[in-house]
Structure 1
Amino acid sequence: MNPKPVYKILSPAFIDLSVSYRLIRWPKLIPGILVKRYKRFLADIKLDDGTIITAHCPNSGSMKTCSEPGMGVWISESANPKRKLSCTWEIIEMPGSMVGVNAILPNRLVKDAITYGLIQELSGYSEIIPEITTSEGTRLDLCLRSHECKPCYIEIKNSTYVEEGRACFPDAVTSRGKKHVEELERLANEGFRSVILFIVQRMDSECFSPADHIDPAYGKSLRKAVANGVEIIAYDTLIDLKGINIRNKIPVML
């Protein structure tokens, strides 16, 4: 069995923090108009020349408030001949903000941000281990380690659902998300630092709250976990046609 990779955490001095910097840069992007999203992972997109193509939608959620037909979108194209769909839907332009569609990117974004010391609340550690198994059948996104303190376990959640300035999670019922909350609560009870980090892939949110109207069981579990020592951190992102970067910490309203 191959050991998990371990990434060293660097100093912010190792990174150019200019306004133009993006932790994740897009490949070449192609503009289009969303025709429809269906079967969760498929989206029909009309290109500028009138051609309609089917692109992969890398998001398993409902994409509430960010999948309306007729909105401008941006897709990337892969040269990998093994892919069934060569194009991936990356961005949708909603009235208040561009929105990152790719739900895989927040994990990479957070790992890179921690590596370069850009998330102050998660500073003071020396190593990052991704995809760490914490109990039978359960893995969490990251573990931060240091010789000076106990490990910190982190689960990263992607939020694209914003209504009236409030970012919410989840946008569909999530038994898996509830399981992660309960696992972090168990680790907190054992004396470990446990964190749920919500990354909002858009720029029009003023605060974050659990979506009780969509999944009340998740919200209940989240509040119970916080009462037992689990930390919640929420950040929005800077997203444009250059790429994505961590932007501002936003208040958490429970």
Structure 2
Amino acid sequence: MQFSSLCRGRLVRRYKRFLADVLYQDQPLTLHCPNTGRMTGCAEPGWAVYFSTSANPRRKYAHTWELVADDRGHFICVNTARANQLAAETLAERHIPELAAYSRLESEVRYGEEGSRIDFLLGGDGLPDCYIEVKSVTLLEQDGQGYFPDTVSLRAQKHVRELIGCARAGHRAVMLFCVLHTGIERVSSARHLDPAYGRLIDEALAAGVECLAWQAEITPDGMRLARTLPFIP
């Protein structure tokens, strides 16, 4: 994934969930913030931010916050939509060995008992259908430890339940954690923040759901899922 001429500013504040004020060329500017989470450790005032610009005249805010560089020099992608885009590219290129055998790739397919849409459905070549949920990981705590989610997430809990149902029905089910923080070295379920999610991950692993973590290389020029990381439940 290549970025087209990101601009660099300095974060003033993030507020109302979807807005962020920055200084760009010493002038105040308001960005759209495409992230509904708490963004813990991703939005400290004074950090460098990188944003894209849309040519759509109907947008109220033409600029979108894409990346931030923290005080240790780590790059973080705060645009959560990029996780699915990266996953789509990587799956299409068959870059993940565990998933490389599939020839058919679909997205946003309805499934499950709770009315969900799966991020990606792989199939073909006589293989069992493979249901893949993608999650963006940006929460870094001590010693390179990354976590998902960054707060209680009923939606994330639902997705794990749906994957458990897929696995028990005989399908292949995968939780793909896209690590969009260059300082993270391993990933775990954030059971200290969302105990129910941690219990569901334990149940999912016991049912045969696979948890894969892949970290992105991130620069202001672009991103790609480049390496696997340990997933420690």
| TM-score scaled by length of structure 1 | 0.89
In structure 2, list runs of 5 or more residues that go unmatched: none
Partner residue, 2:78: 101
Matched, 1:46 2:23: yes
Q: Provide the C-alpha distance between the structure 1 equivalents of 2:78 and 2:8, rounded to a whole number of angstroms.
A: 14
Query: Deviation string for 1:52-101 (max 9, x for gaps)?
Result: 11100011111111111110111111110111100000110011411111
Query: Deviation string for 1:79-125 (max 9, x for gaps)?
Result: 10111100000110011411111100111111111111111111100
Task: Give the deviation of 1:147 after TM superposition.
Answer: 3.0
For the residue of structure 2 that corresponds to 1:252, the secondary structure is coil
Matched, 1:202 2:178: no
Q: Provide the C-alpha distance between the structure 2 equivalents of 1:229 and 1:122, rounded to a whole number of angstroms.
A: 15
Q: Which residue identity does 1:216 align to in structure 2?
A: P
Matched, 1:33 2:15: no
Identity %: 40
Q: In the comparison of the two structures, how many residue pairs are matched?
A: 230
Q: Which runs of 4+ in 1 moved over 4 A?
A: none
Q: Provide the C-alpha distance between the structure 2 equivalents of 1:122 and 1:37, rounded to a whole number of angstroms.
A: 37
For the residue of structure 2 that corresponds to 1:67, the secondary structure is coil
Partner residue, 1:20: none
Matched, 1:227 2:203: no
Matched, 1:113 2:90: yes
Q: Provide the C-alpha distance between the structure 1 equivalents of 2:156 and 2:111, rounded to a whole number of angstroms.
A: 15
Q: Provide the C-alpha distance between the structure 1 equivalents of 2:155 and 2:79, rounded to a whole number of angstroms.
A: 19
Partner residue, 1:146: 124
Q: Provide the C-alpha distance between the structure 2 equivalents of 1:186 and 1:60, rounded to a whole number of angstroms.
A: 27
Q: Provide the C-alpha distance between the structure 1 equivalents of 2:152 and 2:18, rounded to a whole number of angstroms.
A: 17
Q: Provide the C-alpha distance between the structure 1 equivalents of 2:46 and 2:194, rounded to a whole number of angstroms.
A: 28
Equivalent position to 1:169, from 148, 166, 169: 148
Equivalent position to 1:61, from 7, 29, 37: 37
Task: Give the deviation of 1:213 after TM superposition.
Answer: 1.6
Q: Provide the C-alpha distance between the structure 1 equivalents of 2:118 and 2:154, rounded to a whole number of angstroms.
A: 15
Q: Provide the C-alpha distance between the structure 2 equivalents of 1:81 and 1:99, rounded to a whole number of angstroms.
A: 28
Q: Provide the C-alpha distance between the structure 1 equivalents of 2:213 and 2:38, rounded to a whole number of angstroms.
A: 20
Matched, 1:192 2:168: no
Q: Which residue identity does 1:110 align to in structure 2?
A: A
Matched, 1:86 2:62: yes
Q: Provide the C-alpha distance between the structure 2 equivalents of 1:203 and 1:30, rounded to a whole number of angstroms.
A: 20
In structure 1, list runs of 5 or more residues that go unmatched: 1-23
Matched, 1:247 2:226: yes
Q: Which residue identity does 1:90 align to in structure 2?
A: E
Q: Which residue identity does 1:106 align to in structure 2?
A: A
Q: Provide the C-alpha distance between the structure 1 equivalents of 2:17 and 2:152, rounded to a whole number of angstroms.
A: 14
